[in-house]
Chain A
Amino acid sequence: MKDNIQALNDIFQARIDNGESIEPKDWMPEKYRKTHIRQISQHAHSEIVGMLPEGNWISRAPSLRRKVALLAKVQDEAGHGLYLYSAAETLGISRDELFDQLHTGKAKYSSIFNYPTVSWADMGAVGWLVDGAAIINQVMLTRTSFGPYARAMVKICKEESFHQRQGFEIMLTLTNGTEVQKQMAQDSLNRWWWPSLMMFGPPDAESTHTEQSMKWKIKRKTNDELRQQFIDITAPQAEFLGLTIPDPDLKWNEETKHYDFGAIDWDEFWQVVKGFGPCNKERIDARVKAWDEGAWVRDAAVAYGEKKIQKSKVA
């Protein structure tokens, strides 16, 4: 039996090495399935919880142009969550179970959404930095080995670019504005910079999942590689805006052709992951409230649907 599983494992790994996609009904190691349920659902939860900090500003957007853009972005994030939940469900877990894991704290979502959005400039910084960081991760994931996950990523990536551009445009408008507006943009960058770098996860040396994830081609780049890529892309953009990245050690390294940067406060990261970020409780409370208070609507819709089927059978 053990030899049997080992043989299946070898065939599976050979398929991965060969660049083949794995589809839901294919044989896969139990750990591959579990890892995917964890990672895809975590990603889905991030999209859904990520709607909250931005939803916070829809009613106070400074113009109709900004408002329709923000609405459309938040609606896209709902769509991203749905694509990803569907992908996770192909592995044999139900939507209800997934929600339950989120609501009970068993499943995580990206820690970045546990930070508050306190000014309008945060809509700029979030689009620019948070969506920017997400794009780097998601572009890599379009080539991930699990078919439904990769396909969801392709759809998502097509939609992300406007998110980042609308964010950058907000920053650009503020930095071209009054002194107070400029300060608002700078303050926002100060607050979002480090949490954005943490979005790529712990450093490679401490990352427990990286090695296996690379072997299974779930990830194709390590956390540190992706983080460096993000910094290299973003630092010149901050300069373009005339803003200062809150890292005195950040500077271009002519030898490595990359930016050097200062130490990340990983204690803060783990604090937020463990539930002690500024908004962890607020976010989960909001999700649970929406779910509980929507129960009667879901039930009514099912009853209505069943009634329609009954009627059509009679007719």
Chain B
Amino acid sequence: MSKDWPLFEVFIRSKNGLEHRHMGSLHASDPEMAMENARDVYTRRQEGVSIWVVASTDITASNPKEYGELFEPAADKIYRHPTFYDLPDELKHI
């Protein structure tokens, strides 16, 4: 019985000036092969100018169960948004 090839997450920069975005994942026996496969699987139509591959086991992900403690505190901090501040309408460029 063969050993499963590890999973890698693939991030691609579609063009310079833009950030790398998660495109999907693939299996490969090592990072080098992951890079080659990512090229073949995710950029067959010039979808990218740069690729990152990361072993999936190296990613620490937040747990949806912790949604509340992680993200809810931001919900009542409306003063972090520009619309919180009352300014007269005739004022321009602010």
Residue of A82, A96, A309 touching B30 (CB-CB under 8 A): A309
Q: Which residues of A contact B24 (CB under 8 A)?
A: 83, 86, 151-152, 155
Instruction: Tell me how many residues of A have a C-beta within 8 Å of chain B.
Output: 28
* B26 interface residue per 8 A CB criterion: yes
**B29–A25 contact, CB under 8 A?**
no
Tell me how far the C-beta of A241 lies from the nearest C-beta in chain B, rounded to whole angstroms: 28
Cβ-neighbour of B2 out of A25, A27, A298 (below 8 A): A298
Contact mask A91-107 → B, CB, 8 Å, 1/0? 00011100000000000
Do the beta carbons of B44 and A75 come within 8 Å of each other? yes
Give Cα A185 to B27, complex, Å.
40
Contacts of A155 on B, CB cut-off 8 Å?
A: 24
* A295 in contact with B2 given A79-B44, A89-B7 (CB within 8 Å): yes
- Taken together as a complex, chains A and B put the C-alpha atoms of A83 and B27 apart, in Å, by 11
Q: How far is the CB of A1 from chain B (nearest CB, A)?
A: 18
Across-interface contacts of B27 in A (CB, < 8 A): 95
- The reply to whether A25 and B64 form a contact with Cβ atoms under 8 Å apart is yes
User: CB within 8 A of A79: which of B30, B41, B61?
Assistant: B41
Give A193 Cβ to nearest chain B Cβ, in Å.
31
- By the criterion of a CB under 8 Å from any partner CB, how many residues of chain B are at the interface? 20
Contact A76–B44 (Cβ < 8 Å): yes
Bound Cα distance from A151 to B21, whole angstroms = 13
State how many angstroms separate the Cβ of B27 from the closest Cβ of chain A. Answer: 6
- Residue from A26, A72, A94, A152 within 8 A of B4 (CB atoms): A94
**A23/B64 in contact, CB under 8 A:** yes
The 8 A CB mask of A261-291 against B (1 = contact, 0 = none) is 0000000000000000000000000000000
The stretch that binds B, out of A115-123, A173-181, A300-308, is A300-308
Q: Which residues on the A side are within 8 Å of B5 (C-beta)?
A: 95, 298, 301-302
B82 to chain A, nearest CB (A): 27
Residue of B nearest to A26 (CB): B64
With both chains docked as a complex, state the minimum distance between the C-beta of B74 and any C-beta of chain A, in angstroms: 19
State A294–B3 Cα separation when bound (angstroms).
Answer: 13
0/1 string, B33-71, CB within 8 A of A gives 1: 100000011001100000000000000010110000000
Taking a contact as CB atoms under 8 Å apart, the answer to whether A82 and B63 are in contact is: no
Measured CA separation A76–B43 after assembly (Å): 11
Asked if B14 is an interface residue, CB under 8 A from chain A, the answer is: no
Residue of A nearest to B7 (CB): A89
Interface presence of A299 (CB below 8 A): yes
Contact among B25, B29, B40, B44 with A301 in the assembled complex (CB-CB below 8 Å):
B29
- A305/B7 contact (C-beta < 8 A), A76-B44, A82-B26, A82-B41 known: no
- Could you name 17 residue pairs across A and B whose Cβ atoms are closer than 8 Å? A25-B63, A26-B64, A27-B64, A75-B44, A79-B44, A82-B26, A82-B41, A83-B24, A83-B41, A86-B24, A89-B25, A95-B27, A298-B2, A302-B3, A305-B30, A305-B33, A308-B30
Interfacial residues, chain B to chain A (CB-CB below 8 A)? 2-5, 7, 24-27, 29-30, 32-33, 40-41, 44-45, 61, 63-64
